[in-house]
Amino acid sequence: MDEIPAFTIKKGDYGPSSYVARCAQLAMCLEVSASPKPGNIDRHDDYADTRYEHFLASAVSIYPVIEEASKNIQGTGKYIKAAVSESVNWHKGGNTHFGAIILLVPLAMAAGKILSEKETFTIPELTACAHSIVKETSTEDAVDLYSCFGISGVRVNPVEEFDLQKDSAVADLKEKHVSLYDLMVIAQGYDMIASEWTSGFIRCTECAEMITNGMKGKLPGLAADINDIIVYTFLSILSRNEDTFITTKSGAETALYVSGLARTIIEKIENLHEVHKIYNSEHEFDIIKPLIIEMDRELLQRKINPGSTADIIIAGLFIALLGGVRY
């Protein structure tokens, strides 16, 4: 795997913490701006109560929290809670980036730690550091995360252990000394974000590599266009993963149906590329785009939102931007 290009603090720069925070903000803005991203709010599509501008406000609001988090390797839950609080205080659109924040905070902490020690690092080094940080989380971090659900209004399914819908949940966490990482281990089988923590951010890494390769012109059927690369990466991840947000709101059957739609589109792009590659064509994505728009219309009409996939894309963009991807 290629080494992430060096980030060197030069005279006039604002330091690694500011760099990390700006990469996080830009990742959030690029993800929500990408279009057509089926079922999700983007620059052209809003929902009745949540708009594109709400996501932009959220991205701007969390800057100081990410900057501060990148200077520390403890207090993961505290920074997640602070970022969620800032996000909801800056707009009236409800939950916008809850899952993304849970991913961005430990990745930002890891990036800040590494950049304070050296100038170059690989993606595996970054994610390994982030994995180490989340494994050291505490019960206090778990309690902080639980408080975020009430702040953000995030909907969750009832579970057997430490159920948020029970008043005794926080007391149970404290009594049994359950860490935030322990909670993620419990949830990893049915929640994409939790699975990222326990797997060492495997899908986030996959996204970062796909985006980086795309900007080098190495994705089948695509030119090096940041918008199209984000949409393609979104569809690719969705095609191979049941989206947690869809499952929670609409059930597993709907989530699998949406993944099937995405898989059909990715296969059509790849098949067209095989047919046309003798001509060195990079426009298969444009040929298939009407199918993506059709999928987008269906999901928006049915209010099916692959929100967890969008969170993974934000984290992948963040890693790619940290590594020097520019457009």
Cβ proximity of 221 and 273 under 8 Å? yes
For the chain, list residues with pLDDT below 50: 1, 9, 11
Cβ proximity of 141 and 76 under 8 Å? yes
Task: List the structure tokens of 29.
Answer: 């803005």
Instruction: Give CA–CA dist 288/268, Å, rounded.
Output: 7
Nearest CA to 309 out of 219, 213, 244 is that of 244
Side-chain half-sphere exposure of 61, counting CA atoms within 13 A = 21
Instruction: Give CA–CA dist 61/25, Å, rounded.
Output: 9
Nearest CA to 327 out of 95, 30, 47, 117 is that of 30
What is the pLDDT at residue 191? 94
For the entire predicted model, the pTM comes to 0.93
Q: What tens digit of pLDDT does each residue of 258-295 get?
A: 999 999 999 999 888 776 665 555 578 889 999 999 99
Q: Is 153 exposed, middle or buried (0-12, 13-18, 19+ CB in 10 A)?
A: exposed
Q: Beta strands of 27-183 (E only): which ranges?
A: none
Helix, strand, coil in percent for the chain, rounding step 5: 65, 0, 35
Q: What tens digit of pLDDT does each residue of 204-248 get?
A: 999 999 999 999 999 988 889 999 999 999 999 999 999 999 999
DSSP states along 184-211: HHHHTTT-HHHHHHHHTSHHHHHHHHHH
What is the pLDDT at residue 11? 44
What is the pLDDT at residue 93? 94
Q: Is 326 exposed, middle or buried (0-12, 13-18, 19+ CB in 10 A)?
A: exposed
- Mark residue 95 as left, alpha or beta (left: phi above 0; alpha: psi -120 to 50; beta: remaining): beta
What is the pLDDT at residue 161? 61
Instruction: Give CA–CA dist 121/177, Å, rounded.
Output: 34
